[in-house]
Structure 1
């Protein structure tokens, strides 16, 4: 049986002349992944925000409303690509109206036309105070051809509890679409993503935006590197790195995700952090106010 491949897109934002140019870039990455027989492809956080490059300078309120107006086109475009290439595609995240506000929502497009969504739960200070985005309130697990996946968007991955919750619910892969505008943000997400793979003995697939769009305040610069992480233990590489792209380069990076190897790691690894927690001790410490 062939081990399925996952792909992570490092997507370049740049000045745009038309929506067609945007979709050409998206298609290029999907076609590249299809040629490599990728079964699950992950685009970055704020994937559609690149389209702000087509508009005059906007306030944040105007920007979120504009992006929401593109929802139907976004959904139709990525749904068509998933069907045509028989590939499950995480189309990054997209700002969409929910109730009386807006959320940062990841969309998972299946080859059979189904669509699953996951709102970002931990909004950053900028998302809360400038974009005025509402946080999500739960995490879901999604069945895919590659395995059971959860989606922790960017800042979500920086909270160990999130990954433990989805791991306890059966997640074998965590998909982490991200947008970081500087090196410090990128390394926070990257190192936390790798830590979550070690702590929970699962795979983490990280994607990100790179490049710049001068004059677009909401998404003017981006810094990232796609990567796929595994536990730093048998039978995986000692550094836990299955694949990584080139820093700040637009590309698709692929890696095999072998669920049998993951089970071997959980059963025969040198350490078993997935199983060796001490919840009773943690609860006792918390109730004694030893932990904040």
Structure 2
């Protein structure tokens, strides 16, 4: 049996007194997941947005530049934690302008980074920016889908709003993904449930695991990341050999903590071969293409 414990973090935001306090909070979540036997940990979208509580109020463009200044330390700290623990860490997402076009008004990326114990770093830029991100933030969209070979299986990343578009998840599933990591940030219940329901739908459609992580708590003086609503979880197809509701791990709503569950690849293989339904394999692509091309 190939049993892989993965952890999804419900990260509690709140005002910080120092930068070290932020990194100490991150380390405590990593230590908790490590104590549960996790091999991979997923932190939420806009994770480093909590650092905005250390500064005076800024507009969105100023906030992006402020967060960009932490890029080197962000990468260094997560690389060190991954090496020291031997765990794969998805360090949430971080706003930065590395390799962004020079002179463009929109020149920052909202990018998720995977940190490996051997020092390797892989990045996945958010492909679908929300209407607010497009309208009010100087952000650039990503334009690439990737699947990563890891110690827990073949992993892809869909950042928050990305999971609401079935095409992306189907693309990475066709590329071999067995686990989709979904770092998210939703500030209200409706946004959370969109991401949650779509995460479970993607697990059903593609017969794979989805690990959903999010921010919880409040930072009323930080306009950009003022509140978070989440119930993190690890989801599977609603079919044998999994639970009827497809939930293999879920947290307590809006409570700071870590959710751990086994993303067993043997069980996934059984589902794909012997499940009651096979939506990943029973597609009628020729028929679909007829309508797409008409």
Which TM-score applies when normalising by structure 2? 0.97
Question: Distance in 1 between the 2:49 and 2:43 partners?
Answer: 12
Q: CA-to-partner distance for each residue in 1:218-263, whole Å, 9 max, x for gaps?
A: 0011101110000000111111000000000010100001111101
Q: Are the equivalent residues in 1 in contact too, given 2:2–2:264 (CA < 8 A)?
A: no
1:99 aligned residue: 101
Report whether the alignment pairs 1:278 with 2:280: no
1:166-209 CA-to-partner distances (Å, cap 9, x unmatched) read 00000000000000000000000000000000000000000000
Note the alpha carbon deviations across 1:72-116, whole angstroms, 9 max, x for none: 110111111111110000000000102231010000000111100
Name 1:24's counterpart in structure 2. Answer: 24
Query: In 2 relative to 1, CA 260–2 (structure 1 residues): closer, same or farther, beyond 3 Å?
Result: closer
1:2 to partner: Cα distance: 6.0
Unaligned runs of 5+ in 2: none
Q: How does 1:1-292 map to 2 (within 5 A)?
A: 3-97=3-97, 98-100=100-102, 101-288=107-294
What is the alpha-carbon distance in structure 2 between the residues aligned to residue 286 and residue 154 of structure 1?
26
Q: Which moved more, 1:202-211 or 1:93-102?
A: 93-102
Separation in structure 2 between the aligned mates of residue 261 and residue 4 of structure 1, nearest angstrom: 11
CA distance in 1, matches of 2:76, 2:157: 21
1:215, CA displacement in angstroms? Answer: 1.4
* Secondary structure at 1:38 match in 2: coil
Please report the TM-score for the alignment, with normalisation by the length of structure 1. Answer: 0.97
Aligned length: 288
Q: Deviation digits for residues 112-140 of structure 1, max 9, x if unmatched? A: 11100000000011111111200000111
TM-superposition CA deviations, 1:5-55 (whole Å, max 9, x none): 000000011011100111111011000011111000000000100000000
Counterpart contact for 2:12–2:255, Cα < 8 Å: yes
Which structure 1 residue ranges, 4+ long, deviate > 6 Å from structure 2? none
